[in-house]
Amino acid sequence: MVAFYGAAAAAFALVSMLKAAPVVPHPSDAPRAVTVAARPLNWAEPMVFTHVDNLHRISPSLYRSAQITADDLPHLRALGIRKIISFRSFHSDEALLAGSGIALERIPMNTWDIRDEDMIAALKALRNADRDGPILIHCQHGADRTGLVSALYRVVYQGWTKQQAEDELLHGGYGFHPVWGNIVRYLERVDVEQLRREAGVVLATHG
């Protein structure tokens, strides 16, 4: 009996000591913290509080995501999304958005065949995002076609360099698929000034 009480007292002391001990983060948590801290502040902001797949905020009036679902609509309304632009070729959001109050514009693109006219159409559609938005752009994964349009928006509208836009495209955590090297090559070779002219974009000047 004495031995039993002695063992019980020892167990109680051990539990008390463990409760008082500070919580030490698991080593596997460290890389995630470093990655978040190292993410440039001007890259699109992950909207982690919603369930919309791959949702990020590019600017106060422009968002990007993967294919949306009916379950996403309340979250999109909460963000004030007024228009959705889809780059998918063989899928339409028309039935999904019927009666939602959210407008839809389709600019079908083929991932394997990036064309200037499609990029110009997308840039034109985003020209009045500040007035007509917030706008959400998406494709299937929200990574490749959406990634390219986002990169061109950065360069054409926001004055980023191609290298800055490419870094975000490839390393922003959006899931870009390396198999689509043609997208990267397009971004590297495209004539930005021609895109601006064709899309009717005039950069604001200061001074």
The CATH number covering residue 156 comes to 3.90.190.10
**pLDDT tens-digit map of 162-182:** 999 999 999 999 999 999 999
**pLDDT tens-digit map of 23-69:** 333 333 333 333 445 789 999 999 988 889 999 999 999 999 999 99
Specify the DSSP class assigned to residue 90: S
**pLDDT tens-digit map of 136-149:** 999 999 999 999 99
- Residue-level pLDDT at 128: 87
How far apart CA 152 and CA 181 sit, in angstroms, is: 16
In a domain, 9, yes or no: no
How far apart CA 107 and CA 104 sit, in angstroms, is: 10
In a domain, 151, yes or no: yes
Specify the DSSP class assigned to residue 83: E
Q: Which two tokens stand for residue 11?
A: 């167990």
| SS3 letters across 142-187 | CCCHHHHHHHHHHHHHHCCCHHHHHHHHHHCCCCCCCCCHHHHHHH
In a domain, 36, yes or no: no
Domain that holds residue 172: 43-199
Predicted TM-score of the model (pTM): 0.80
Of 148, 18, 157, the closest CA to residue 87 belongs to: 148
In a domain, 144, yes or no: yes
In a domain, 158, yes or no: yes
In a domain, 141, yes or no: yes
Cβ burial of 173 (10 Å; 0-12, 13-18, 19+) is: middle
Number of domains present in the structure of the chain: 1
- Residue-level pLDDT at 191: 96
Q: Distance of alpha carbon 182 from its chain centroid, rounded?
A: 20
In a domain, 116, yes or no: yes
Residue 10 pLDDT greater than 70, yes or no: no
Bridge-based pairing state of the strands 45-46 and 56-59? antiparallel
In a domain, 1, yes or no: no
Q: Which alpha helices (H) appear in the chain, and where do they start and end?
A: 2-20, 29-38, 73-78, 94-97, 116-125, 129-132, 145-158, 162-171, 181-189, 192-199
